[in-house]
Amino acid sequence: MMHVVGVTSNGITVSVDLAHSGAAQLISRRPHLLTFAGEIISGLTLVDSHLVMTYDMGRAIGYDFIVTPTATDVVFYAQLAKENIYIPFTKKGSPTSTNLLTMILCHSEADGYFLDDLWPGPFRPSLPGSASESDDSKAFWESHAYIYEDQHIKVSSVTHDCPY
């Protein structure tokens, strides 16, 4: 289900797939992020086929749930429900308030521009094993983890051994 997020300063419509995009799950839990994304998009002039940007909203917009675990923190890996990629989690740490919103916009010949992903906080590479994994993914995620709260994980996938 496509939803219009906003229109750029050069008249290009940016949409998001609320069911199948990388942003869909986060938007379902934090729909206010679409309002912030629309604010940013209205000031953009899109010409590139792929744009990754982190924008300072100038006010708190949410929480960043990524932390750098210490040597004494327990890190475990698990797959989210309906996903096949392992994510590092820790139960230690607290979310930090952030002014930053990171967005990934992509161009499609058929659909124009679409919001592929967004999250509150600074840029971070995709998880290892994902379709958008980069050269930096493994190194970053070996030293960072999501704070585990109430994420729906596949219990059978939980492991303490790093899968990457």
The arithmetic mean of pLDDT across residues 124-149, rounded, is 95
Higher pLDDT, 66 or 109: 66
Strand order in the sheet with 13-17: 2-7, 13-17, 112-120, 100-108, 50-56
CA atoms within 13 A on the CB side of 77: 16
pLDDT in tens, 94-135: 999 999 999 999 998 776 799 999 999 999 999 999 988 999
Q: Is 37 exposed, middle or buried (0-12, 13-18, 19+ CB in 10 A)?
A: buried
Other Cβ atoms within 10 Å of 64 Cβ, number: 17
pTM exceeds cut of 0.75:
yes
The arithmetic mean of pLDDT across residues 71-78, rounded, is 96
